[in-house]
Amino acid sequence: MTARALLVLASLLVAIFAASPARAERLIVSVSNHRVTVTPNYSGEELVLFGSVERDADTPLGRTNYDLVVTVIGPRADMVTRRKERRVGIWINSDYRQFLQVPTYLALFSNRPFDQIASPEVQRRQQLGLNNVLLMQRVGPDYADVVPDDVFRSAFVRLRSERGLYRQETSAVTFLTPTLFRSTIPLPAEVPIGTYNVEIKLFTDGALVTKADTAFEIVKVGFEQFVANTARQNGLAYGFVTAAMALMTGWMASIVFRRD
Amino acid sequence: MQLYLPIADIPVNVFLVLAMGAAVGFVSGMFGIGGGFLMTPLLIFVGIAPAVAVASVASHIAASSFSGAISYWRRRAIDPTLALILLSGGTIGTALGVWTFTYLRSLGQLDLMIGLSYVVLLTSVGGAMAYEGLRAMLRTRRGGAVTLRRPGSHGWIHGLPLKMRFKRSKIYLSIIPVIFVGLVIGFIGAIMGIGGGFILVPLMIYLLRVPTSTVIGTSMVLTLVTMIFATMLHAVTNHLVDAVLALILMVGGVTGAQFGARAGQKIRGEHLRLLLGLLVLAVGIRFAVELVIRPTDLFTIRETGGGAP
């Protein structure tokens, strides 16, 4: 009991020290729902992220020109982008680029354009904007990200954006008061199941002041979860049931529609 | 009404999927084909991942061909002996096909192979059927008798040994070409992910000279067994069969298949062949156009999980 209390105390102390660097602001954030459940009538959802900038005695008094960048990163997966080319009169996939462990969902929100928040150098270092987020690729023998206007990278970002899975909005974060902010996180219906990390970065005068993390998860529950789990863990039984279901449906129909 | 599909991981409109199932079911009941070559592209068009679409369509085809097979059985329009011998060839063909599929995938460019074989098969089979149907129609219009089975013209097929009497179909035929046809269908079906009914029906009519009265019912039995087998295989190996999607498709499909089977019995054989020929030809041309026309987007993304492309 005492050991546990000590542990809690220690971790609290660590947390306090970690959260109070030289610059004295601190971010308190939360999302409206930490667990999005997928039910039969699920068709996407919109989460609200809200929070405030906590100031203390060390904070320079007149400082209120805050900028905020919210990055939402969905579960990661490997993907391939292919390019079609015309060969002997027909269009076939010729060239491809592998994207390794890239986010399946990626959203970047801020209160004003990234150019106005920080210098290009800071933007690159802090991965502000879809052009600066690290998308690891396999280029020949190397593993690296490439320049933003690379054909494969820009096609990849464009195709994901068309499906609403990659998005960047530089007016999505609203400061309600100089220190209180909110933003919405739109999740389209085809958003992948899994854990989503939300990273909030606070900037002032073009420099990073502090950052905070939170997360939410999208999970299947009830019937959806049961079906998905059975399909994965009991393939044979699942196949039998589906096949039996097919035969039953066919047989029922022939009874229902029997005329003689 | 929107419903979330647990394996496909997207919501779909239930009534849209029901209608798609019914439409394809009608066609399949009418012509005695599975309709996979119509259903799979439709599902992909709605936004379902190709792999899930192919796997779920198999069980849908099983359901509608079973309901069709029952009603053909009641009309004594199925030749059980013929079905059994076709199936024995079909099983070997499927096994060979799966093996070839794996080999082609290891070489890469499997998608292109599938696309090309769709084009070649659908346009040639569809074209031949439409042409034959048209010629038969013109012949009847001119007053000539329609003789699908020309009594005098015993081709080389009838010279083969191991002859057997197929009572229900009223034909006397060697089992060698029957097994061969089953083998070819099983092979093609496994590679292209289709039941193969649209190839089986013309092969049975033109090559084996099976009378129109039993050809559709018998081909349905073959489709039923292969598709049940395919459902099991997909469920065990890829875990991609969406039972909810399959159930919606089935309910629509079996309903459509009943009306289709009834409509099919009313239409004259050569008209039926012309219609099916035109349908198959149209799908084939669509695939060909896709290969030849410059796509609107040259790039595509596919999730690969952890594996190689």
- Match 């979330």 to its residue by tokens: B4
pLDDT of residue B152 exceeding 50, the answer is no
Nearest CA in chain B to A224: B6
The average pLDDT across A158-165 equals 91
Say which residues have a Cβ less than 8 Å from residue A178's Cβ, sequence separation at least 6.
A53, A64, A66
Question: What would the CATH number be for the domain defined by A27-220?
Answer: 2.60.40.1930
Instruction: Report the complex ipTM.
Output: 0.78
Q: Which two tokens stand for residue A77?
A: 């997966």
CA distance, residue B221 to nearest chain A CA (Å): 12
CA distance, residue A104 to nearest chain B CA (Å): 9
Contact A254 B295 (CB under 8 A): no
Q: Specify the pLDDT at position B193.
A: 64
A82: phi then psi, degrees, rounded to nearest 5: -115, 150
Per-residue burial over B148-162, b = 16 or more CB atoms within 10 Å of its CB, e = otherwise: eeeeeeeeeeeeeee
Nearest to residue A31, comparing CAs of A212, A165, A179?
A212
Would you place residue A92 in the very low, low, confident or very high pLDDT band (cuts 50, 70, 90)?
confident
Tell me the domain boundaries of chain A: 27-220, 222-252
By Cβ distance, the residue of B62, B68, B305 closest to A243 is: B62
The average pLDDT across A97-105 equals 91
CA distance, residue B79 to nearest chain A CA (Å): 19
Q: What stretches of chain B adopt beta strand conformation (E)? A: 2-4, 11-13, 163-166, 171-174, 299-305
Bridge-based pairing of strands A106-110 and A180-187 is unpaired
By Cβ distance, the residue of B4, B291, B300 closest to A90 is: B291
Full 3-state SS string of A135-185: CCEEECCEEECCCCCCHHHHHHHHHHHHCCCEEEECCCEEECCCCEEEEEE
Tell me the domain boundaries of chain B: 2-292
Determine if residue B56 is left, alpha or beta; phi over 0 gives left, psi from -120 to 50 gives alpha, anything else beta: alpha
By Cβ distance, the residue of B11, B236, B237 closest to A43 is: B11
For residues A233 and A198, give the distance between their C-alpha atoms in angstroms, rounded to a whole number: 31
Question: Could you give the 3-state DSSP secondary structure of residue A217?
Answer: strand
Q: Specify the pLDDT at position B106.
A: 66
pTM of the entire predicted model: 0.74
B155-166 confidence digits (pLDDT tens): 666 667 777 777
Q: What is the mean pLDDT of chain A?
A: 84
Burial of B107 (0-12, 13-18, 19+ CB in 10 A): exposed
DSSP label of A94: E
- The CA angle B270-B272-B276, to the nearest 5 degrees, is 120
Q: Specify the pLDDT at position B308.
A: 33
Q: Which residues between 104 and 123 in chain A have a beta carbon less than 8 angstroms from any beta carbon of chain B?
A: 104
Measured between beta carbons, the chain B residues lying within 8 angstroms of A190 are 9-10, 47
The average pLDDT across A82-92 equals 83
The count of other CB atoms within 10 Å of the CB of residue B75 is 13
Q: Which residues between 12 and 51 in chain B have a beta carbon less than 8 angstroms from any beta carbon of chain A?
A: 47
Q: Which residues between 207 and 236 in chain A have a beta carbon less than 8 angstroms from any beta carbon of chain B?
A: 220, 223-225, 227-228, 231-232, 235-236
* B242 and B57 Cβ atoms separated by less than 8 Å: no
Q: Which residues pair with A52 in a beta bridge?
A: A28, A180
Q: Specify the pLDDT at position B144.
A: 58
Say which residues have a Cβ less than 8 Å from residue A20's Cβ, sequence separation at least 6.
A26, A56
B183-198 confidence digits (pLDDT tens): 988 888 777 767 777 7
The average pLDDT across B215-228 equals 85
* A251 and B233 Cβ atoms separated by less than 8 Å: no
For an interface test with B, which of A193, A254, A255 has the most B Cβ atoms less than 10 Å from its Cβ?
Answer: A254
Q: Which two tokens stand for residue A62?
A: 């007149």
Q: Specify the pLDDT at position B107.
A: 65
A35-63 confidence digits (pLDDT tens): 988 887 788 889 999 999 988 777 777 77
Contact A89 B71 (CB under 8 A): no
Choose the most confident range, by mean pLDDT, from A184-188, B113-117, B131-135: A184-188
Would you place residue A259 in the very low, low, confident or very high pLDDT band (cuts 50, 70, 90)?
low
Bridge-based pairing of strands A194-204 and A207-220 is antiparallel
* A198 and A216 Cβ atoms separated by less than 8 Å: yes
For residues B53 and B242, give the distance between their C-alpha atoms in angstroms, rounded to a whole number: 8
Bridge-based pairing of strands A45-54 and A26-31 is antiparallel
Nearest to residue A96, comparing CAs of A55, A130, A137, A133?
A137
By Cβ distance, the residue of A41, A43, A227 closest to B244 is: A227
CB contact A36 to B (< 8 Å):
no
Question: Could you give the 3-state DSSP secondary structure of residue A93?
Answer: strand
Measured between beta carbons, the chain A residues lying within 8 angstroms of B62 are 243, 246-247, 250
What are the Cα distances from residue B166, in Å, to A159, B153, B160, B171, B205? 57, 19, 15, 5, 15
Nearest CA in chain B to A155: B299
Burial of B260 (0-12, 13-18, 19+ CB in 10 A): buried
Nearest CA in chain A to B2: A41
For an interface test with B, which of A97, A157, A166, A242 has the most B Cβ atoms less than 10 Å from its Cβ?
Answer: A242
CB contact A78 to B (< 8 Å):
yes
- Match 């690296």 to its residue by tokens: A144
The average pLDDT across B27-43 equals 81
* B248 and B18 Cβ atoms separated by less than 8 Å: yes
Q: Specify the pLDDT at position B17.
A: 92
Nearest CA in chain B to A90: B292
- Match 């030289």 to its residue by tokens: A22
Q: Which two tokens stand for residue A180?
A: 């209180």
pLDDT of residue A18 exceeding 70, the answer is no
Contact A242 B243 (CB under 8 A): yes
For residues B151 and A3, give the distance between their C-alpha atoms in angstroms, rounded to a whole number: 97
Q: Specify the pLDDT at position B151.
A: 46
CB contact B291 to A (< 8 Å):
yes
Q: Specify the pLDDT at position A19.
A: 47
pLDDT of residue B237 exceeding 90, the answer is no
Question: Could you give the 3-state DSSP secondary structure of residue A219?
Answer: strand
- The CA angle B174-B177-B180, to the nearest 5 degrees, is 140
The average pLDDT across B53-69 equals 84
By Cβ distance, the residue of B11, B47, B243 closest to A42 is: B11
By Cβ distance, the residue of A79, A223, A232 closest to B301 is: A79
Q: Specify the pLDDT at position A23.
A: 55
- Which has more confidence, B160 or B289? B289
Would you place residue B96 in the very low, low, confident or very high pLDDT band (cuts 50, 70, 90)?
confident
Contact B64 A245 (CB under 8 A): no
Contact B300 A93 (CB under 8 A): yes
Percent of chain A whose pLDDT exceeds 70 = 90
